[in-house]
Amino acid sequence: MLLTVLIGITAWWSSYYGNHQLASVSIRFLHLAGLVLGAGTGLFADRQVLGSVRSGSQEREAVLTTLNRAHAHVVSWIIVVGSTGALMTAADTSTFLVSKLYWIKMVTVGILIANGLAMLLAERRARQVGVSAGWPRLVAVSTISAILWLTTLFLGTLLTVAA
């Protein structure tokens, strides 16, 4: 019943999205651009953290600065990805809302966002207790982050053909 209500509510958007190629292509472009720029920045920051495992505290402090600068950029692009993803979902609710793969991807995105919060806390902890003491947690969170970004990208790609 809920699916029927959602389909009714989004019918006008689905029709518009399907009949206006410029709108649908623009939304897909923004979604992909957000993934490239947000995930690219996130993965770059993760790589910086992971690459500094054997570095000294001065190099790690520089990585913390890079990481701090990356957060706002990543969050901005996640908002774009989330917004465009919601618009694409609303354009085809009957396909996506019943897809197990779609919900697996949404759970993965939720875990990715939670891991982003864990990243902020790990970064804060590294600043408070010192980079040497705080670095192992930051490395663990960065490893999980990189895996989640790539998994989310894979699931999104798979969703385009499997849904």
Please, what is the average pLDDT of the chain? 92
- Domain range enclosing 85: 2-162
Report d(CA 21, CA 18) in Å as an integer. 7
Report d(CA 28, CA 40) in Å as an integer. 17
Domain count, the chain: 1
Interval 57-98: pLDDT, tens: 889 999 999 999 999 999 999 999 999 999 999 999 888 989
Write out the chain's pLDDT in tens, 163 residues: 666 776 777 888 999 999 999 999 999 999 999 999 999 999 999 999 999 988 888 899 999 999 999 999 999 999 999 999 999 999 998 889 899 999 999 999 999 999 999 999 999 999 999 888 889 999 999 999 999 999 999 999 999 897 6
| Residue tagged 């897809």 (tokens) | 99
Residue 8: what pLDDT? 76
Q: Residue type at 138?
A: L
